[in-house]
Every structure is written in structure tokens, then in C-alpha cells.
Structure 1
Amino acid sequence: MPAGGRPTVRSRRLGTALRQYRQAAKLDQVEAAEIIAASQARVSRLESGHVTARVIEVRLLLDAYGVTDPEVRSKLEDLAKHSKNRGWWLEHAEHLRPDYLDHIALEDDATYIREWQPVLVPGLLQTSAYAEAVIEATPHYIAPERIAHLVKVREARQAKIEEGGAAYTAILWEAVITQPVVNAGTQREQLSKILEVGKRKNVTIQVLPFSAGALAGSTYAFSSFSFESEPTVEAVTMENLRGTSVLEAPEDLAAYSNAFDQLRSAALGPEASAQFIRGALRSSKENPS
């Protein structure tokens, strides 16, 4: 059973895929249960992610469902093998919400990460000073020692990008660059880091200008994740006051994939965005406050 009795991101992804392939094969859960010599209840719990399928169960089910693509089969077998593996973030579980752990697990597995941020610099790009400032500003009281721990976790997440473990694209609304929510010194340090990280081959940073109009207000901040060699969106996360929501329904994924494409098309290109950020940084240095 996944840790804590709740579905993990990996067990849920596996279960969702098994359910979709079963339905495509026009089999019900009773028939699936017969294939693996188990109860219907077990199949239901496998598909909900509350228990993790064994590799042999995955193979038997995929055979029965007519799934022959070796890449798909390998992916699902790997999810079965590694769904219970302890990621580095679980060492910090006592300090983190379960939904935030899910977000980090998605980041860690992803081959493509895309983010839209109309207000704050994304966590994967934040300096420690910027992270501390925005965490302190949350409406809920957070003890100073926990703030320090959350900043360290945010820094640890950035290794995924720094080590080239995923292709990363961030689209920032112009306000993120020119209307800072932190003091001037912290913002200058932050802009410098964005420019530095943006030089990496696996990183693309674009700025959506005010001239794009109402498009910036079409959706709140979100992150999308892909787990294969192609950038097909397979999960989306959104933060709110109550935590982080994970979206996996096909219609949700299609909507957010389309939204990101529209934002990217309206944004400045990577080089023009870098020039814009350099201009904002230069202006801040010339007019310190």
C-alpha cells in the first residue's frame, strides 16, 4: 500500500493508465479481476492508486488489454517497480503538506516541466532570499524554523533543472519582473538568477508583456508535467490557499495545454525576454529604492 494509506502520485498514474486501457478493451473490473486471479475490490483499489499493482499483474493486464507498445509497457512496469521508492523529499515529509509532496514527486519524475506565473517567480527559479520573503508573506503563520526548512526544500527542488533532468519552460507575466513583491535588493538578486538560469540549454524563460492584454488574466498560475520523450501534458498542478490541486482528467490536461500554448505564443521570445529582464535589472540598479 502507498505510504500513509493514501494514493501516491506514481500509484495513481499507474492506476489511471490501467483503467483507461481496460475501458478501451471494453472489459469491466470483474473480468480484469479474473485475469490476475484477484477480487474486483483489488482491481478497484489498483485503479484508484490506493494499492500498487505488482509487475506481473501489470504484464497480465496489459496482455489482456491488447497493449503491445514496448515503450508504454516499460513505463507502466517502471511505475509499478518504483511507486513505493522513497524520494529525497520524503525525508522532509513532517514539514510538508501531502499535496506539496505530490507536486515534488511530479517534478522529480518529469521530462518536461512548464509553468505560468502571473504574480511570483516560480519556485524552481527563486533565490533563497526571495523564497524566504514570499513564504513569510503567506496569510497563515509559519514558524521561523519551518520557513528555513521550506526554503531548503525549494532549493533542493532546483537540482532537477540545474542537472538537466528536465526541459523547463517558464512564462512570467511582465508584473513579475517590473512590479516586485519583495524589496529592491532581493528583486535585483532574483532577476540576476533568472538571467543566469535562462542560459541553460534545457531552460526557456519568456515574459508575457502587458500589451498581451487580458490573456494574463485567463488563468491562475499553474505547472504542467510530461513524463515521456514527447511533451504531452500528463498532469497539472495549481496552488491555492488550501494547498496544491493535481489535475489529471483528459479534459483538464487539454485545457491547460492549450492555455500554455496561447500564453507562449503571445509572450516575448527567449532572447527578447532576456533583454527585457536585463533592462529591468539595469533600471533597478540606476534607481535603487
Structure 2
Amino acid sequence: MGTALRQYRQAAKLDQPQAAEVIASSQARISRVESGHATPRVIEVRLLLDAYGVTDLEVRIKLEELAKHSKKRGWWLEHSAHLRPDYVDHIALEDDATYIRQWQPTLVPGLLQTPAYARAVIMEGPDCIAPEAVNQLVTVRESRQTKIEAGGTAYTAILWESVVTQPLVSVDIHRAQLASILDVAKRKNVTVQVLPFSAGALAVTTAGFSSFSFDSEPTVEAVAIENLRGTSVLEAPEDLAAYGNMFDVLRSAALAPDASAKRIRDILRSI
């Protein structure tokens, strides 16, 4: 299906950014669909075939059936009524990624959050969310962690020291969250580092972000930045290089994984 969509796009003389505009998504998603690393939804297939001028009914039915019955169909679609489109794109990036790197100066990242922590920060957020929607969002955050738990993705998180020292939730929830981080960090595919206060202004140089790689090499291919209006995905080469370099700077300034675990244990004992 990916090969066919690429051939039809090229025949229509459209590039990947133009195709991404058709489905209101990112160039990275078009690239992953065409390379076979991701499966498009049926509506995306229809929109792309329309844009490519493909009118052969047999071809259209075949490709739509492939999309409809693919085993890779996103698990998150059943929750889509409660998710913003940009959040869906973020989850799709995570689900496709072979490497995920995150910098978080304010909250524990969603991929590390316990259900209790997730519920607390969702309910304390600026948006008014119905209780049933809160339950769905907590379930989605738990489901996002499945691939990390299964070892399907190499995951590195750098947390500013304030994230682990300053409880933004109840003390009991914070203690359980720190203990959970220590447990998750024991996995072979997970690295957690703490950026200490001694790093100074470096911690506030850039807002939190996630970078993603989709092949066997950890080359940054997409960056997601959360903001008040949602999640923005960057794919321009200069942006990817800038955020890749910034993560390396943060990682070099952070405590080593063992020292980070000791720092979290010390904080846990002090609470």
C-alpha cells in the first residue's frame, strides 16, 4: 500500500509536504506510510487518492480494504472522540518511533506517568474536562506506555530537578510517581536522567519537547512541542538539527543515569 501511494503521488507530481497538507498531517507521517512503517486510516487513503487523481474503482477499493483491515490500525482510534487531532498525531509519532527522546522541565512526561499522577495533572489543567473524558485520557496515557514496556522503543527522558523535587500533586501521589520512575528506569530500553539545579539557566533555555526517530539509526526525524494551543510538529532540517543538538547539550549537563537514580532515591527518602 505504501509503495502504491508513493507511485500515485509521484505520478501526480506532488511532493510529501503537499500530500501531508491533503490529510492535515505531517510530512513524517506521509514518509512512514509510504515506507510501510505506518498504516493510514481509510479516510486518509480516500483523500490521498482523490488528490492523486486515482479514479480506478478496483484500486481504490483494494487500498481502502488494506487500510481498514490492517492489524496496525491505531489502538487510539477508539478514544478519538476525546482526543485533539494534534494529540492523535503525537500518539502516532510515538507508536511508530524506534527512538524517543524527551526533555521535560515542568511535569513528569506522559510516558512515565502513573495513572494517579496523570489523573491529577489532567484535572488540575486549564481545560474543563468531563469526568468520563478524564478516564479516557488516563487510559490513553497508560496505553501509550505499552510499547515502552514491551521494549519496542528506545526511550530517553531528561527531567529538570524541579520535576522530582517539587510536588505538583499530593505527596502520596508524588512518592508513588518517583518510585515508578525508578522501576521503569531499570528497563534496558529506558534511560532517565535528571538535570540538576546547578545547570543554571540551561533548564529554561527551551520548553519541553519530544524527538522521534523511525529507523534503526537514532537520527531525529520529527520533533513535537507542546504549547497552550496543542502540539506542533517540526520537520524542517534546520529545526531537527537544532533540537537534536539541544538534547545532546541537555544530556551532557544532566546527571548520569546511576547518579540520577540516586538523586531520585534521596528525594524519595526525604519526603
TM class by smaller structure: 0.7 to 0.9
Counterpart of 1:149 (choices 136, 159, 163) is 136
Question: Is contact 2:33–2:40 with CA below 8 Å preserved after alignment?
Answer: no
How far apart in 1 are the matches of 2:222 and 2:209? 11
Give the structure-1-normalised TM-score. 0.75
- Superposition deviation, residue 91 in structure 1: 1.2
Take 1:241 and 1:247, find their aligned partners in 2: how far apart are those partners?
A: 16
The answer for the alignment partner of 1:220 in structure 2 is: 207
Deviations 1:36-70 (A, max 9, x none): 3x4x4xx2587432558xxxxxxxxxxxxxxxxxx
Structure 2 distance, partners of 1:196, 1:262, is 26
Give distance in 1, aligned partners of 2:203 and 2:16: 40
Classify the secondary structure of the residue corresponding to 2:100. Answer: strand
Answering whether residue 65 of structure 2 is matched by residue 107 of structure 1, we say no
AA matched with 2:254: A
1:4-153 matches, within 5 Å, as 36=11, 38=12, 40=13, 43=14, 47-50=18-21, 76-79=34-37, 82-84=39-41, 85=67, 86-153=73-140
Residues 1:165 and 2:152 are matched in the alignment:
yes
Indicate the residue corresponding to 1:27 in structure 2. Answer: none
CA distance in 1 between partners of 2:35 and 2:206 (Å)? 35
User: Compared with structure 1, are the counterparts of its residues 278 and 74 closer, same or farther at alpha carbon in structure 2 (3 Å cutoff)?
Assistant: closer
Q: Which amino acid counterpart does residue 40 of structure 2 have in structure 1? A: S
TM superposition shift of 1:78: 1.1
Q: Secondary structure at the match of 1:170?
A: strand
Quote the Cα distance in structure 1 between the aligned partners of 2:16 and 2:238.
23
1:194 aligns with 2:184: no
SS of alignment partner, residue 176 of structure 2: helix
Instruction: Determine the structure 2 residue equivalent to 1:270.
Output: 257
Structure-1 residue corresponding to 2:52: none
Unaligned 5+ residue runs, structure 2?
A: 24-30, 42-66, 68-72
Question: Can you list the C-alpha shifts for 1:84-138, whole angstroms capped at 9, x where unaligned?
Answer: 3431011111110000000000000000000000010000000001000100111
Report the alpha carbon displacement of residue 83 of structure 1 after superposing the two structures with TM.
2.7
- The answer for unaligned runs of 5 or more in structure 1 is 1-9, 19-31, 53-72, 285-289
Contact 1:224 1:237 in 2 (8 A): yes
Q: Which amino acid aligns with 1:178?
A: T
Cα deviation code 1:7-39 (max 9, x no counterpart): xxx9xxx98xx9xxxxxxxxxxxxx98x73x4x
Larger gyration radius, structure 1 or structure 2: 1
Partner AA of 1:179 in structure 2: Q
Question: After superposition, what is the alpha-carbon deviation per residue over 1:160-207, rounded to whole angstroms, capped at 9, x for unaligned?
Answer: 100001000000000001011111000000000000000000000000
TM-score normalized by the length of structure 2: 0.80
Post-superposition Cα deviations, 1:232-275, rounded to whole Å, max 9, x if no partner, equal: 00001111111111111111111110110000000000000000
Aligned-pair identity (%): 65
What is the Cα deviation at residue 144 of structure 1? 1.2
Q: SS at the partner of 1:224?
A: strand
RMSD over aligned Cα atoms: 2.4
